[in-house]
């Protein structure tokens, strides 16, 4: 029998007393014990803050992202070992794929997200705020890692994904983690954490593990910590109201099980592909992980004239589901996570039978392949019919956390929306319809009570990730019963672990703090042209003031012929009455192109290519006779770990440089008087950010 170990303060050790027995969900046999007796939670928290935190905070976002990528690659190479362990949780190979490779996929996703952050230990958020008339006083927001620990209290249903989808986010932010998986399936989490620690990819203190009880750990949280909980709403609310959480104002992200729903649109008939999509989606969500998903479909909302068709089609599909030992060929649904979970589901089903009837499934009459259904935690899919869901409301309040769902009728799409909201907040809802008008009505009407809404039709069904699959780049959470929290969500998720602080000062000061050029900052001038310098030698704020150029009528005509853009404002002076233009005006794209002719250094050098333009604006018209110049400034430098491949096959290391192209009016006063131009010489007439790839000096 295996005794699970906790990983705390840099050491693996078992609890000092016999702990909770852990069972094989398929055979019912005891496979180990888990205890945290003797683990000092206060020391674990302090170890994370004093050892793991400083090491992570010294790394830049780019370095943290590459760390996640390396870890993902390592865990992927060990995935078959994890699948072998996962069998004892009752999961099929497909179920475990979602848990194991889905969790590793989160690491890959957040590793890629590093490209959206600067090559700094911090980042900034949003746009600059101009706080003074002459732009000598501005404001911005800097975001720095919290100097605490992320404490993750996870559910039993996804022992790998539940951990990795959270730690990927806090590690990218620069915050260490203590993970507390549900003890019943913690043996799989332990197997993954052992590989993580053995890999030595993470800095020491970045991850600690509690396999036994974590009762009392919240007594030691501080205001720089973050606590997340996934599980039942009852337990979540109890933890969220812990005195220490309230006293220290500790952020608490609650993601609770919810009564998610799937709606069949009023436009769908049994002959349409959307009907088959609906039946397939509902059946999959009932049987995947044996219905033990926080996103599983608990309420099947169907037009009243389609209830019988849905009941028959769903019954036929579920009858084809082979239940049993996941290692046996042909088995499509495993067991619940344990006998205790089975007993809990039976109790909830019993409560639901008081207000609605079972139309599919029987706890006694079902077959199990390759296992003893009396020893393992097996049960068949159970489908209820609630003919009056507005009156009999238990289905909107009681959740049986297994392969259990309820069909309920509705008359109009407004009724479907109302029924969806009666769940009092859920993680996800879906609607299957071929009519985008119905989809729009449902989404706008139901969105306030759901964290995510999936709209399925024949066009997207084949590539859809499905009702029950949260995606790393989108928020996972929901209002009301679902907890009111958010997990993942791309950059949004990372900001949960950062302190956003408003900073104020001169543009030059804010530039020097953020290492990102702010408009109006003092320039750095060098004798050498910026395009003659390698990536390492360029400085943020370095500026080239170009020669100027006078725009002519011929320029406008030539550009119109070359580009094909013969918009009347450039070509037809007789059509300008009632417009903002005093006479025919130069094309904005000509001005930007001509600006490039002023700041580009033609000979071959370290700048290899221009691959994009951001935030391009044309702020004032340029007429023939006016003169332009360019203030060309290094705005920001970004690391790039993917080298270019030259024509000769050699790899060339490059960095990404953002440049501010500030095109300004440098017209003589007599020209300005003639054209009756307002403002002063030197005013910006166009501005853009261009991105270039610049060769690095070091190519080894």
Q: Decide if pLDDT at 47 tops 90.
A: yes
Mean pLDDT of 93-104: 92
- How many angstroms separate the CA atoms of 693 and 646, rounded? 13
The CA-based angle 228-230-231, given to 5 degrees, is 145
Mean pLDDT of 216-223: 94
Question: Tens digits of per-residue pLDDT, 318-330?
Answer: 999 999 999 999 9
Contact 227, 248 (CB under 8 A): no
Residues 6+ apart with CB under 8 A from 687: 615, 616, 617, 619, 660, 661, 662, 663
Sign of the alpha-carbon dihedral angle for 442, 445, 446, 452 = positive
pLDDT value for 422:
96
Lowest-confidence range among 55-69, 74-88, 283-297, 673-687? 673-687
Closest by CA to 430, choosing from 407, 454, 409, is 454
- The DSSP element (H or E) to which 142 belongs, if any, is strand 138-145
pLDDT value for 1:
54
Instruction: Show the tokens assigned to 376.
Output: 């393992």
Domains of the chain in sequence order: 41-256+492-498 (3.40.605.10), 260-470 (3.40.309.10), 523-695 (3.10.129.10)
- How many angstroms separate the CA atoms of 121 and 143, rounded? 9
Q: Decide if pLDDT at 54 tops 80.
A: yes
Q: Decide if pLDDT at 10 tops 90.
A: yes
Question: Tens digits of per-residue pLDDT, 144-166?
Answer: 999 999 999 998 888 999 999 99
Strands 654-665 and 627-638: antiparallel
pLDDT value for 106:
93
Instruction: Show the tokens assigned to 472.
Output: 């790393």
Mean pLDDT of 658-662: 96
Give the rounded distance of the alpha carbon of 478 from its chain centre.
14
Question: Tens digits of per-residue pLDDT, 185-214?
Answer: 999 999 999 999 999 999 999 999 999 988
Q: Decide if pLDDT at 590 tops 90.
A: yes
Q: What percent of the chain has pLDDT over 70?
A: 100
pLDDT value for 373:
87
Contact 657, 694 (CB under 8 A): yes
- How many angstroms separate the CA atoms of 368 and 322, rounded? 7
Instruction: Show the tokens assigned to 264.
Output: 């069949």
E strand residue ranges, 619-669: 627-638, 644-645, 651-652, 654-665
Q: What percent of the chain has pLDDT over 90?
A: 78
Q: Look up the pTM and report it.
A: 0.90
- How many angstroms separate the CA atoms of 287 and 15, rounded? 36
- How many angstroms separate the CA atoms of 296 and 290, rounded? 10
Instruction: Show the tokens assigned to 168.
Output: 């990927």
- How many angstroms separate the CA atoms of 103 and 100, rounded? 5
Return mean pLDDT, the chain.
93
Q: List, by residue number, the catalytic residues.
A: 255, 294
Closest by CA to 583, choosing from 613, 610, 607, 551, is 551
pLDDT value for 670:
80
Q: Decide if pLDDT at 641 tops 70.
A: yes
Question: Tens digits of per-residue pLDDT, 308-353?
Answer: 999 999 999 999 999 999 999 999 999 999 999 999 999 999 999 9
Higher-pLDDT residue of 498, 644 = 498
pLDDT band, very low/low/confident/very high, at 616 (cuts 50, 70, 90)? very high
Question: Tens digits of per-residue pLDDT, 434-449?
Answer: 999 999 999 999 999 9
pLDDT value for 504:
96
Mean pLDDT of 166-190: 95
Mean pLDDT of 271-297: 94
- How many angstroms separate the CA atoms of 163 and 141, rounded? 30
- How many angstroms separate the CA atoms of 592 and 617, rounded? 10
First to last CA, the chain: 52
pLDDT band, very low/low/confident/very high, at 700 (cuts 50, 70, 90)? low
pLDDT value for 680:
72
Closest by CA to 400, choosing from 352, 365, 468, 339, is 352
pLDDT band, very low/low/confident/very high, at 59 (cuts 50, 70, 90)? very high
């Amino acid at each position: 029998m295996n005794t699970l170990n906790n990983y705390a303060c840099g050491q693996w050790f078992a609890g000092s007393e016999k702990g909770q027995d852990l069972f094989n969900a398929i055979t019912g046999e005891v496979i180990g014990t888990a205890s945290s007796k003797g683990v000092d939670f206060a020391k674990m928290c302090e170890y994370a803050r004093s050892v793991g935190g400083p090491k992570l905070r010294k790394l830049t976002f780019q370095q943290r992202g590459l760390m996640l990528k390396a870890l993902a690659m390592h865990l992927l190479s060990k995935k078959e070992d994890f699948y072998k362990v996962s069998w004892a949780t009752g999961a099929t190979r497909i179920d475990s794929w979602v848990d194991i490779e889905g969790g590793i996929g989160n690491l890959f996703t957040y590793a890629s997200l590093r490209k959206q952050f600067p090559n700094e230990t911090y980042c900034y958020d949003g746009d600059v705020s101009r706080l003074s008339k002459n732009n000598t006083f501005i404001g911005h927001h800097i975001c720095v890692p919290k100097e605490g620990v992320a404490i993750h209290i996870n559910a039993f249903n996804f022992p790998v994904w539940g951990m990795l989808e959270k730690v990927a986010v806090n590690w990218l932010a620069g915050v260490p983690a203590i993970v507390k998986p549900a003890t019943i399936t913690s043996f799989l989490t332990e197997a993954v954490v052992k590989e993580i620690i053995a890999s030595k990819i993470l800095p020491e203190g970045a991850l600690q593990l509690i396999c036994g009880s974590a009762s009392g750990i919240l007594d030691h949280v501080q205001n720089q910590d973050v606590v997340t909980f996934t599980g039942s709403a009852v337990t979540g609310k109890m933890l969220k109201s812990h005195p220490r959480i309230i006293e220290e104002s500790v952020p608490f992200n609650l993601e609770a099980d919810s009564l998610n729903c799937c709606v069949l649109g009023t436009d769908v008939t049994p002959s349409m592909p959307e009907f088959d999509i609906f039946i397939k989606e509902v059946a999959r969500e009932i049987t995947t992980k044996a219905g033990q998903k926080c996103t599983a479909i608990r309420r099947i909302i169907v037009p009243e004239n389609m209830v019988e068709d849905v009941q028959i089609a769903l019954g036929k599909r579920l009858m084809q589901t082979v239940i049993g030992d996941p290692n046996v060929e042909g088995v499509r649904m495993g067991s619940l996570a344990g006998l205790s979970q089975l007993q809990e589901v039976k109790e909830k089903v019993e409560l639901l039978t008081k207000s609605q009837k079972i139309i599919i499934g029987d706890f006694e009459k079902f077959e199990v392949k390759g296992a003893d259904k009396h020893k393992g935690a097996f049960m068949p899919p159970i489908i209820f019919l609630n003919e009056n869901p507005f009156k009999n409301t238990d289905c909107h309040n009681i959740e049986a956390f297994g392969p259990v769902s309820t069909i309920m009728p509705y008359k109009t799409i407004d009724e479907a929306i109302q029924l969806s909201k009666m769940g009092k907040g859920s993680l996800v809802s879906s609607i299957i319809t071929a009519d985008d008008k119905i989809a729009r009505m449902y989404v706008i009407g139901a969105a306030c009570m759901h964290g995510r809404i999936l709209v399925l039709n024949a066009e997207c069904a084949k590539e859809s990730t499905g009702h029950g699959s949260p995606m790393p780049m989108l928020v996972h959470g929901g209002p009301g019963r679902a907890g009111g929290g958010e997990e993942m969500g791309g950059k949004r998720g990372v900001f949960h672990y950062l302190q956003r602080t408003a900073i104020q000062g001169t543009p030059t000061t804010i530039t020097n703090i953020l290492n990102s050029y702010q408009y109006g900052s003092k320039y750095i001038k060098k004798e050498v042209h910026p395009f003659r310098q390698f990536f390492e030698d360029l400085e943020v704020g370095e500026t080239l003031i170009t020669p100027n150029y006078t725009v002519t009528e011929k320029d406008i005509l030539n550009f119109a012929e070359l580009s094909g853009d013969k918009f009347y404002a450039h070509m037809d002076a007789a059509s300008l009455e009632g417009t903002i233009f005093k006479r025919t005006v130069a094309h904005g794209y000509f001005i930007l192109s001509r600006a490039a002719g002023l700041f580009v250094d033609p000979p071959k050098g370290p700048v290899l290519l221009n691959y994009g333009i951001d935030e391009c604006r044309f702020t004032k018209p340029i007429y023939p006779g006016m003169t332009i110049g360019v203030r060309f400034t290094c705005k920001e430098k970004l690391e790039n770990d993917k080298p270019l491949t030259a024509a000769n096959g050699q790899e060339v290391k490059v960095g990404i440089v953002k440049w501010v192209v500030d095109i300004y009016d440098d017209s003589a006063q007599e020209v300005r008087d003639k054209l009756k131009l307002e403002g002063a010489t030197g005013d910006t007439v166009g501005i853009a950010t261009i991105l270039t790839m610049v060769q690095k000096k070091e190519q080894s």
